[in-house]
Structure 1
C-alpha cells in the first residue's frame, strides 16, 4: 500500500502534463486529439482505485479544458475526453454508495451538457452532442449498476453458503455429541442403578457395575476430547492439541455389544456379506446408527435381548437392529435419536425406517449406498 500511493498520485500529476502536451499541438486532428486525451486517462487508474470521486473530478476538468481549447468548434471528436469521465463514473457507481453515485451522475451530466452548448457551434450540433453525451453517460452508469448488483448478489450467495455450512456443521456436531453421550449415559445410569441395589447383598456385582461405569466414562471422555480437538484444529490460528484418535466404525461393534450386554441387554451380532473397508463417513454413520438404536433398546424396550445385523452388499450397506420389547413409544418421529439417525442416512442418500414390529418389539433399519470406487475395490479382491 505504501508503494501504491506514490504511483497513484504520480499518475495524477502526469495526467495534466500530458493534456498540456496535447493542447500544445501534439495532434492536429480533432479525433486523434480526443483519442490521445482518452488514453491519457489511463494514468489515473491508481487514483481511481483509491478515490473514484477525485478521479472523476480530474477527468471532468481535463475533458472541459481539452474541449475548450482544442479543434474546430463543429467537430464532435473534441468530446472524446468525456468518455474517460463516463468510464470513471461507471466504476464509481459500481463501487460507491447510491447517494454518491446519483450525485456524481447528475453533476457529470450537467457539466457535459453545459460544455456541449458552450463550445459547439450551431444548435443542431449542440443538441446532438449533448444527447450523445447523456446516452454514453447513462450507458456507463447502467454498466456500473449491473456490475454492482452482480457483486452484491455474489456476496449474498456466499453469505448464504457460509450460513448453511455453519448450520450443517452444528447439526453434525449435535448428532455426534448426542450419539456419543446418550449411549454412554444410558449405560452408566443402568449400571449405577444395579450397583446401588446390590451393593449390600452382592458386592462383587456392585464392583463389576462400578468397573463398567468407569470404563464407559473413560471412553466417553476420550470421544469428547477427540471432538473438541477436532473443533480446535478447525481454527488455523490454534495450536495442535492432543493427537486425534481414529473415529469409531463397524469394527468397534463387538466392543459396543459387550458394553450394551454389561448394561443388561444381550446383543446378538450377525455379519453378512464380505466385510471390507468402507468410506469413513459411511463407516462412522453405520456405527452411530447401531449405537443410537442400542441406546433406545436399553432405555425403552424393556427387554434383555436384541439382534444387530450388518450386511455388506455389492451396492449398499444394510444395518438392522431388532428387539422383542415393548417398542420405543413416542420417539418414532420426534426423538432426537431417531431424527439424528434419519439425518445421517439422508445425508448419505440412503433409506431409513424406525417402527414397531407387528409381532412385537421395534425395528431400526438403514440402507446406505456404497460409492462405485468401493465396489470396484471389493470386486478386485
Structure 2
C-alpha cells in the first residue's frame, strides 16, 4: 500500500514553526544578526524572507521528504546572504534532525555521512581559500549545524527502532506463550477426559447392566448377586474417583507419595471383574498371552509406565464395550510382548442393537492414548466378531516416560 502524505502538519511541527518565526521576528526587531548586522539593515524587511521560508519548511519536517530539506538549505543560504538570524539556524538544525528521524531508511543511512563529508569539504575549501586558523571554528560551526543534528537523529532513530523491535518480539513471545498455554491446557483436558472415562465407564456400565437385571428378575438370589456386583463396582468406582481427585488437588503436597497407577499385573483381576459382570448375560472372558497369570508382570522386564498404563486402559475400555454391546459368547483378551507390546480383545458382535447407549468417546480415547505413544490402533468388525487391536512400541514409550 503506497504511503500517503498527510495534508495537515503535525501539531509539534506547527509549534516549532510558530516559535521559530516569533523568535526570528524578535531578533530582527532588535537588529541581532549572526553574520553581519549591516547586511540585515541593508535588506530591511527582505531579511525576514529566509526565516519565513524556513518556518514554512518546518511545517512539513515529518512527512514531505527531501523537498523540505532542499527548501531549508536554500533558506539557510539566503539567510546567510541577508545577515543571518539565529532563529533561522536553529529551525534548520531541527529540520535536518527530523529528516533523519522521520525520513525513509535510505535517507537515514545516507544523510549523516553526507553532512559530515560536506562539513569536511567546506572546512578544507575555506582553509584553502583564506589560510586562516579561525576557519576551523567556522567549519566546526558548520558541522554543528548539519552533521550533529543528522547524527543525533540517527542515534534517536536507532534506539526507537530497537525499542520497537523489542516490543514486537515481546508481543510475539507473549502470543507464543499463550498458544503453548492453550495447547497444554487442551492436552491436559483431553488426558483428564480419557482418564475420567476409563475410570468411570467400566464401573457404571456394570452397575447399569446389573441394575437392569435386578429389576427384571424375580429370583431373590439372582437379585442379591446383582446388587452385590452393583455395590462392588460403585465402591471401586468411588475409590478410583477419589484417587483421581487426589491427584488433581495434589493432596500429597511435596509429591513424595505419588498415587498408584494401574499396571498389567492387574489384568487378571480386571478380567475377573468383567467375568463376574458378564456372567448373567452369557459372556465368558479369557485372558491369554504374556500377562495371563497373576504376577507375570512382576517377573517380566519392566515396561515404560506410559505404555503399561495405555495397554491397561485399552483392555479396560474394550471389556467395558464388550459388556455393553457383545452378544453371548467368548471374549478373548490377549496381551503379548515381543519387540512391541500388542493388545487384542476379540468379542462376539451384538445382536438387536446395543444394550446400552454409548457416545463413542471410549474408542476416541483408546486411539488417542495409543497414537500419543507412536503406536497403531484399530477397532471394528472382522470375521470372528468385533476386534480391538493396538500395537505400542516400547522404545517410544520409554522416550515418553
Q: Specify the TM-score bucket, using the shorter chain as the normaliser.
A: 0.5 to 0.7
Using the alignment, how far apart are the partners of 1:326 and 1:227 within structure 2? 32
Partner of 1:180 in structure 2? 199
Q: Does 1:361 align with 2:385?
A: yes
Using the alignment, how far apart are the partners of 1:213 and 1:121 within structure 2? 99
TM-score when normalising by structure 1: 0.59
Using the alignment, how far apart are the partners of 2:317 and 2:369 within structure 1? 12
Q: Does 1:233 align with 2:250?
A: yes
Cα distance change on mapping 1:327 and 1:296 into 2, 3 Å: farther
Partner of 1:210 in structure 2? 227
1:349 offset after TM fit, Å? 0.8
Partner of 1:189 in structure 2? 208
Indicate which of 320, 323, 326 corresponds to 1:301.
Answer: 326
Indicate which of 375, 388, 393 corresponds to 1:350.
Answer: 375
Using the alignment, how far apart are the partners of 1:146 and 1:158 within structure 2? 18
Partner of 2:103 in structure 1? none
Q: How does 1:98-113 map to 2 (within 5 A)?
A: none
Q: Does 1:325 align with 2:349?
A: yes
Q: Return structure 1 stretches of 4+ with deviation > 4 angstroms.
A: 238-241, 327-330, 372-375
- Is 1:282–1:368's contact at 8 Å kept on the other side of the alignment? yes
Using the alignment, how far apart are the partners of 1:301 and 1:120 within structure 2? 100
- Is 1:184–1:220's contact at 8 Å kept on the other side of the alignment? yes
1:270 offset after TM fit, Å? 0.7
Indicate which of 288, 294, 314 corresponds to 1:270.
Answer: 288
1:328 offset after TM fit, Å? 11
How many residue pairs get matched?
249
Q: Does 1:281 align with 2:306?
A: yes
Alpha-carbon RMSD: 3.2
Using the alignment, how far apart are the partners of 1:338 and 1:297 within structure 2? 12
Using the alignment, how far apart are the partners of 1:352 and 1:217 within structure 2? 30
Using the alignment, how far apart are the partners of 2:249 and 2:369 within structure 1? 23
Superimposed CA distance per residue, residues 197-256 of structure 1 (whole angstroms, 9 cap, x where no aligned partner): 33x33x22222211111111111111100110100018xxx9689x76411121111111
Partner of 1:291 in structure 2? 316
Indicate which of 156, 161, 168 corresponds to 1:142.
Answer: 161
Partner of 2:128 in structure 1? none
Partner of 1:93 in structure 2? none
Using the alignment, how far apart are the partners of 1:303 and 1:370 within structure 2? 35
1:327 offset after TM fit, Å? 8.2
Unaligned residue ranges in structure 2 (runs of 5+): 1-137
Q: How does 1:42-57 map to 2 (within 5 A)?
A: none
Partner of 1:254 in structure 2? 268
Q: How does 1:151-170 map to 2 (within 5 A)?
A: 151-170=170-189
Superimposed CA distance per residue, residues 70-118 of structure 1 (whole angstroms, 9 cap, x where no aligned partner): xxxxxxxxxxxxxxxxxxxxxxxxxxxxxxxxxxxxxxxxxxxxxxxxx
Cα distance change on mapping 1:256 and 1:165 into 2, 3 Å: same
- Is 2:247–2:259's contact at 8 Å kept on the other side of the alignment? no
- Is 1:195–1:209's contact at 8 Å kept on the other side of the alignment? yes
Using the alignment, how far apart are the partners of 1:354 and 1:266 within structure 2? 20
1:285 offset after TM fit, Å? 1.0
